[in-house]
Amino acid sequence: MHLLTTLAHHVVRRPQRIALLQQVAVQGSITQAAKAAGLSYKAAWDAIDEMNNLAGQPLVERSVGGKGGGGARLSATGERLLQLYQRLETLQAQLLSAAEQEGDMQLLGRLMLRTSARNQLAGQVSAIQASGRNDLIEIDLDGARIAAQITHESTEQLDLAIGSPVIALFKAGALQLEAAGAPVDATLNQLHGQVEQILDASDGPAEVRIALGHGRTLCALLGAERRAELNLAPGQPVLARFSPDQVLLGIPT
C-alpha cells in the first residue's frame, strides 16, 4: 500500500493523469483516452511512462491486434491506484471543508514542499506570454513582480492560468547582487531588499541573506572580490537580479 500511496500522492497533483487512467478504463484505447483527457497521444504515453517508472510495473497494459489494431486496459495495480485516488479525493474534500480558510491548506502545501533551491517565493500568476516553444510567466509577489521562462508544455502540465498560486524556486548562485541604484536591466528579474546578514565561509563565497519585506528573505552567494566592490554590510539596501530562465515553478499541493 505504501507504493500506491506514493503514486496517488504524485498523481493527485496532476489531475489529467488520473483522468487519463480513468479514460483508459472506459475507452479501452490510448488514443481515445488521450482525447477524452485533453492530452496529445505523445503526452499521454509520456505520462504513462512516468507513472510506470514510479510504480516499477505497468499501470496500463496494451494488447496487440484485433479490431482497430489493439487496445489498452488498466493493470490490477492501475485499478487499485484509481480506487485509492478516489478515497484520497474524499479525504481531501473533508479536510477542505474542515479548514477555516482554503488558504490554510495552500500554506500547508507550501510548507511541505521539499527542494534543493534555497530561494522559494509564493505568489500568483499575473500574466502568461507565449514566445515560441516557451512561455514567460509573470508572477505577483504581493506588489513585487518576477518572471519565469518555462516551456509551454510545462505551463500545461502545471495547469497554469491567471490567478494560479505558484511557488518560484531559484538557487542562491543564480542571484547577481548590485548596488541599490544600479541601472535597470529589463531582461532580468530585479528585487529590492536590505542586507540582513552576511555569513562568511572559509572555503567559498559568503552567503548573503536579504530581507525583502513581508517576512520574505533571499539567499545569495557572493565572492570576495565582488563583496569588496559592493562593500556590503548589514542594513545596506541592495538589488538582487536573476534571469527568468533560472526560475523553476511549482504549484502548492
pLDDT tens digits, one per residue of 22-42: 999 999 998 999 999 888 888
- Among the four given CATH numbers 3.30.530.20, 1.25.10.10, 1.10.10.10, 1.10.1270.20, the one describing domain 2-98: 1.10.10.10
Q: Which segments of the chain belong to CATH 2.40.50.100?
A: 171-242
**Cell representation of residue 95:** 479536510
Q: Which segments of the chain belong to CATH 1.10.10.10?
A: 2-98
**Intervals of the chain under pLDDT 70:** 1-15, 53-56, 63-70, 91-117, 215, 252-253
Residues 191-243 have pLDDT tens digits of: 999 998 898 877 778 889 888 877 688 889 998 889 889 998 999 999 999 99
Distance from chain centroid for Cα 26 = 30
- List beta partners, residue 192: 239
Whose CA is closest to 162, among 143, 185, 137?
137
Global confidence as pTM: 0.58
Name the E strands within the chain.
Answer: 60-64, 70-74, 119-131, 134-141, 144-151, 165-170, 176-179, 189-199, 206-213, 216-222, 237-242, 248-250
Q: Which residue has the cell 514510479?
A: 54
What pLDDT is stored for residue 69 in this prediction?
Answer: 44
Whose CA is closest to 139, among 130, 129, 148?
148
- Among the four given CATH numbers 2.40.50.100, 1.10.3720.10, 1.10.600.10, 1.10.357.10, the one describing domain 171-242: 2.40.50.100
